[in-house]
Amino acid sequence: MIKSVTIKEIAKEAEVSTATVSMILNNKDKNISEATRNKVLKIAKRRNYIPNTMARSLVTKQTRTIGLILPDIVNPFFPEIARGAEDRASLSRYSVIYCNTDDNLKREEAYVDILTEKMVDGIIFTHSADPEGSAEGFNRCRVPIVLIDRDYDIPNVIGKILVDNTTASYMGVNYLLDNGYKKIAYIAGPVHTQTARDRLDGYKKALADRQIECKEEYIKVGEYKSQWGTEAIKQFLDERISFDAVFCGNDLIAIGAIKALKEAGYKVPKDVGVMGFDDIYMASMVEPALTTIKQPNYEMGYRAAELLIHAIENKNSDEEDQALKVETIILNTELTVRKST
């Protein structure tokens, strides 16, 4: 095994101080000549220099590592968030540790503890559920947190990257109403999550503003999964609910709903219009292509990492003042019209 060269050995060969080598290798070389910089980097590359991250973290008290906790990595919405976060983290030479909770609060709290033990510099995550009675796990966390997609009040949060789910849902239902649909059923995600509740609120508000009665039998609550969309349509049909459109809590639900409608002999959109929420990559691939609300999920991940890294690298500022500041960024959604409506 090749022994890694040390900073001291690089400094000796380059005929500069170890401090100069350290500044160059850590990108803090603004006042060092380009010739010296290139000389040191060339030696480091030739001699296969590998940074001692453990030693560096003991000095800087940073590991240049971010934890990313997501509720369902199988859902195509979340990998794009992960990609955005990782792309932004890599620009600042941070690595990302992924954790999947399956929307389980106890697993989420366990991951928070594990990431804290691994001395990550900060955590980005989509919270699994309402934190009632669960604050203890988050109180043990001593690193900054950025929430993404779902808005909750928990300790150590320094930022939130969100969309206005109520307004987005309201926009979607109004589009259906404007296009002649009158009996709009709604297949919701899990209402223990803020996103599902907000989207349901938007659906109800859109109907109320048009003086349309919101009937409970037109609402089914379940999971953000395609199987739930299929099951919910079967329930509507078994209960003989008359509807001409279905607004769905996410695209996976909508894809499952289209499948069930086709199997029951309905034509989409001739007999029933279907709208989703998210605009995952599969939305344009199903038949018919899905009308949906587009979320900027890549940007959500990117901006979350950007916000977190800024907090990590400016943590020496007045901590008491910083504790009072929680930056909330609301990103825009947009209606994407395709063939399912």
Listed in sequence order, the DSSP H helices in 140-273 are 165-178, 194-209, 226-238, 251-263
Identity of the amino acid at 135: A
- Which of 178, 172, 176 lies closest to 200, judged by CA? 172
In this predicted model, what pLDDT tens digit does every residue of 264-320 receive, in sequence order? 999 999 999 999 999 999 999 999 999 999 999 999 999 999 999 999 988 755 454
CA gap 172, 175 in Å, rounded: 5
324 has pLDDT over 60 = no
CA gap 196, 22 in Å, rounded: 50
pLDDT of res. 165: 98
In this predicted model, what pLDDT tens digit does every residue of 160-198 receive, in sequence order? 999 999 999 999 999 999 999 999 999 999 988 889 999
326 has pLDDT over 80 = yes
End-to-end CA gap in the chain: 63
Q: How many CA atoms lie within 13 A of 271 on its CB side?
A: 9
Residue 273, strand partner residues: 245
Instruction: Return phi, psi of residue 188, to 5°.
Output: -95, 160
331 has pLDDT over 70 = yes
| pLDDT confidence bin for 1, thresholds 50/70/90 | very low
Please tell me what DSSP assigns to residue 153: -
What is the pLDDT averaged over residues 194-219? Answer: 96
For residue 184, how far is the Cα from the chain centroid? Answer: 29
Full-model pTM: 0.81
Q: Where are the beta strands (DSSP E) in the chain?
A: 65-70, 95-100, 122-125, 145-148, 157-163, 184-188, 219-221, 245-248, 273-275, 292-294, 327-331, 334-336
pLDDT of res. 229: 98
pLDDT of res. 133: 47
In this predicted model, what pLDDT tens digit does every residue of 220-259 receive, in sequence order? 999 999 999 999 999 999 999 999 999 999 999 999 999 9
In this predicted model, what pLDDT tens digit does every residue of 76-118 receive, in sequence order? 999 999 999 999 999 998 999 999 998 888 888 889 888 988 8
37 three-state secondary structure:
helix
